[in-house]
Structure 1
């Protein structure tokens, strides 16, 4: 029974405390309102006075087969592997996401655009800020070939220009890389054919020298045996020795071989190799009508800023202002209550 009465008194005291708390807050309602209005005004000032930030983006896709066709001109004839769309696009996306291109853009475009106050900031801090503004990614997991370049900037016109310029620089770098790749492959093939031609010419020269040595030996035998002219009946036997041709015929062949300036007409494979070499040297390693990507959507000048979000900031200002006002009122009430108790306390002599 006593326990129930104690619980009832505790519940009643809690009720009284809650009522007193509400009364105390109501008594300080103008303080709460003032703090709320002050915080909301500060939030509103920030929302309306802060410089807006705009975002723009360019979307990119792989090139069409016709866009890379000129990279493959002559490759089949040169016995080189044809470039696929994926091959060319991978070079482009690697450049697009590369640190070197980002650094180049940072040095050549971003830093010169800064005002004098911005140039006094440490370069590593500026680099971090730049990386936060510029984003290059493949955001769609189900479409990994779809890439986006996004930029946040306070100047919407400059934001669009920078994104398109960044994509153009990646495209330019890709064209340079592709030209270098094609040139390197063609150069290697040209060197291979030239080495083959040189080897054939050296072999033909050596064979001619071998033939001269054989004929000189046969001439000595023919002159020593007195065989001046070919022995018809004997020469008809294909296994007959060389000297049986007679000294006259051997001297004539020796004279022709010694006067020969070039063995090229007697090398069977040479002309086809020279044709291949001329073809390789005529391959265009820097075609004009090529593209390493498809511009799905160029960056446009944005009209609506993404920051600051005024409605959200004002709402947060009101909520936080109200919470701060209530907190200040509670602390103020507790302090006043403590001071009141001290003033009512009896003085002990």
Structure 2
């Protein structure tokens, strides 16, 4: 009984030596299976189509890039100027919009496929497209930098895709900005036009009221036979002349009143007599003519050049071959262990 504990390690040690010896006798089998695994992995790695990745980084524009958006817009004016953040937010919203992805899918991605590939499920094709073209979001280190990433078998096409997608997002954002600016200018011009019309109508009514008052004064002057203003000497003359309005208007005399009535009735325009009119008309003309040239503005900046990739990101040949070797060795050991088990049961003849 005292020798039993000591015999167990020796038995385990003997079994381990037997296992190693059995595996060693089948080293050719293990090596062959491992070689098959490496060859299979190498075949897959070298026959698989390479996948390349192109990437473009996008940053906010400069003040010079958005200067024309702010033409006529100052902090003291009716329209507040746009900030860099305002403009860049419009761009990033368009960059991540579903409408832009759908348009690119229909206009660029689908035409690049063969007729047989396009005949498949549109939902599946769109799902595959979303894996090939992705938007990289900002990070803590680069809180304002976005990226567009395109993957494909053709590296030149991947570069074209990222350029085209970023340009489409920029064009859509510029169009939205210009549309907003134009709309604001139109509304402002219409408001100014309404103010001008109101002032002109008010001045026309004032003229009609003046004609009515002058006609009544003329009737009084003609009734008393007063053709010319009375000649009054001294300080009383200045006082009476200053008060020749209202009830004393008739004291101007019928000749003066007729001339003034004729002048008011034949006046072609009241505009020269409206104090704020010219200023309002100048503002209205400015907003009517306000235009932004898309060639002089930019809603984003490209951070660095877009270089054509010369090394595929997939397949990773070295990793695949190492994985094939590992799996081949594991499979070889498993086959060798199964074979040893069969040998011990006498199903197959053991190696000599």
Pairwise same-fold verdict (TM > 0.5): yes
Tell me by how many angstroms 1:150 deviates. Answer: 1.3
Matches within 5 A, 1:1-349: 2=1, 4-76=2-74, 79-233=78-232, 235-236=240-241, 238=243, 241-338=248-345
Q: Distance in 1 between matches of 2:285 and 2:178?
A: 19
Contact map agreement 1:71 1:287 (CA 8 A) in 2:
no
Residue range with higher mean Cα deviation, 120-129 or 313-322: 120-129
- Deviation of 1:220 after TM superposition, in Å, equals 3.8
CA deviations 1:3-59 (Å, max 9, x no partner) are x53322333332232223223322332222222111111101001111111111112
Distance 1:7 1:241 in 2: 141
Q: Relative to structure 1, is the Cα distance of residues 232 and 337 closer, same or farther in structure 2, using a 3 angstrom cutoff?
A: farther
Cα deviation, 1:219-273, whole Å, max 9, x if unaligned, reads 3444445544434548436275333334443333222222223211111111121
Corresponding residue SS for 2:302: strand
Q: CA RMSD in A?
A: 2.4
SS of residue paired to 1:218:
helix
Distance 1:298-1:168 versus aligned 2 partners, 3 A rule: farther
CA distance in 2, matches of 1:142, 1:182: 33
Instruction: Give the distance between the partners of 2:110 and 2:289, measured in 1 at CA.
Output: 43
Gaps of 5+ in 1: 342-349
Kindly indicate whether the alpha-carbon contact (under 8 Å) linking 1:57 and 1:298 is maintained by their aligned counterparts in 2: no
Secondary structure of residue in 2 paired with 1:63? coil
Matched residues in 2 for 1:51 and 1:287: separation?
A: 41
Q: Work out the CA distance in 2 between the residues paired with 1:189 and 1:120.
A: 51
> After alignment, is 27-36 or 299-308 more displaced?
27-36
Paired residues, what number?
339
Pair 1:32–1:213, CA change in 2 (3 A): same
Name the CA distance, whole Å, in 2 between partners of 1:242 and 1:334: 134
Contact kept, 8 Å, 1:78 with 1:276, in 2: the verdict is no
Question: Residues of 1 paired with 2:340 and 2:26: CA distance?
Answer: 9
8 Å CA contact 2:68, 2:292 repeated in 1: no
Q: CA deviation at 1:155?
A: 0.5
Mean CA deviation greater in 67-76 or 153-162: 67-76
User: So what's the TM-score if we normalise by structure 2?
Assistant: 0.87
Cα 1:259/1:138, change in 2 over 3 Å = same
Q: Which runs of 5+ in 2 are unaligned?
A: none
SS at match of 2:11: helix
